[in-house]
Copies of this chain bind each other. A is one copy, B any other.
Amino acid sequence: MQMRYAPSRDHGGAMAMNDKTPPDENADQAAGGEANPPTLKTIAFMTGLGVTTVSRALKDAPEIGAATRQRVQLVARQIGYRPNRAGVRLRTGKTNVISLVLDTEEQVGGFVSDLIYGISEALAQTPYHLVVTPYSRNNDPLEPVRYVVETASADGVIISRTEPDDKRVRYMTERGMPFATHGRTHMGIDHAFHDFDNHAYSIEAVKKLAALGRKRLALLAPPSNLSYYHHMRDGFADALMEHGLSEVPFPMATVDHSIEDIRKQTVELMRRPNRPDAFVSGAGAGTFALVAGIEEAGFRIGQDVDIVSKQSSKLLHLLRPQLYVVNEDVRLAGAELARAVLGRIAGRDIGALQSLSKPKAVEAYETPGSGKDDTT
């Protein structure tokens, strides 16, 4: 698949061998050596054009003749030309990078993996790279964002752990940095986001528990500074009201607490006289702790207590088949978030870049072997 350096097409006008200098020592005709990666200059030399023309031709600029354009693009493809990221970035400021800002204390459960995979998938067919920018929950969450903005080290940012009044959102909006949030805000700023509908989730969860005849419900909620705390809590409260159920407050535990803490708090809660007879849980890992605490206090899931839990992995039914679960597709969330930032970067309308993922129905355990068993 060898391209000749001075094509003899008698097609465009002056095609005489010109004096353009070949890029460095590439002149030794592809002698099987360690050829440096081709640049615009390489293509310019091969086609006999100027680098400006080549640059333009590759991005379909209108002032380049159709024949030339095709010729350049053909050559570029043949020799596997890839624009040098540093060159582009230096000249234009465009980094082709999306920064995912992550809290490194994030709870277990594959949440982060799935998010990253989802984003990666969406970015795969684009020139964008994904860089992970971590921060510790103890530090200012604004700091990593400020870093990215100040150093202009990404074209777009994805953040999670969104708060109702989120300074990162305000900051990036002010600075004009495209971004998308995992979770919504309530601060009068319109921005791209993807969110799981936790309001609907807790309504469904309560409905399920009501149908099971449960009366006194506790909520294992997110930390109260996060937006989805409010969504989940509001849905919970609304549904309690609607079904005439009461809440057993459980303020000492959130999904951010350690497994150990949640377990302890649950034991304590269950030993109270007015213990709950059901839980709605905001996170899979937390549910592990809930179950442990409940059983340690001497009660049984599905009998004394029912639990509806969100989960992003599929492990809960293996923990206790009696659990009711709602699956949250975090991988999808990642893909949506990527789509959203890319949209913002491309200048698309914010309205089109906001999505809410409705929870599926509450699932009970489906006894295995009920499907077709293929062997023996």
Residues on A facing B (Cβ under 8 Å)? 37, 82, 84-87, 89-90, 95, 97, 102, 104, 106, 108-113, 116-117, 120-121, 124, 129-134, 150-153, 259, 263-264, 267-268, 285, 288-289, 291-292, 296, 313-315, 318-319, 368-369, 373, 375-376
Contacts and interface: CB of A to CB of B under 8 A. Distances in A.
Copies of this chain per assembly: 2
B129 A130 contact: no
A64 to B, nearest CB: 26
13 contacts: A37-B151, A85-B151, A106-B117, A109-B313, A110-B110, A116-B116, A120-B132, A129-B133, A130-B131, A264-B368, A264-B373, A267-B369, A315-B315
A121 B150 CA distance: 21
Closest 3 CB pairs of A and B: A112-B113, A86-B89, A120-B134
B112 A263 contact: no
Nearest to A132: B130
A123 to B, nearest CB: 9
Contacts of A116: 102, 112, 116, 132, 134
A172 B368 CA distance: 46
Given A106-B113, A116-B132, A134-B124, A263 B315 contact: no
Contact of A129 (B89, B153, B289): B153
Given A108-B110, A113-B106, A292-B318, A368 B151 contact: no
Contacts of A267: 368-369
Given A97-B131, A288-B319, 6 more contacts: A108-B113, A110-B113, A116-B116, A131-B131, A292-B318, A315-B315
Nearest to A88: B86
A318 B259 contact: yes
A268 B368 CA distance: 13
A117 B131 contact: no
Contacts of A113: 106, 108, 110-113
Given A131-B131, A318-B291, A319-B318, A153 B110 contact: no
A375 B268 contact: yes
Given A89-B86, A120-B132, A319-B318, A150 B37 contact: yes
A354 to B, nearest CB: 25
A318 B37 contact: no
A309 to B, nearest CB: 13
Contacts of A314: 108, 259
A48 to B, nearest CB: 26
Contacts of A153: 85, 129
Contact of A104 (B120, B296, B368): B120
Contacts of A288: 315, 318-319
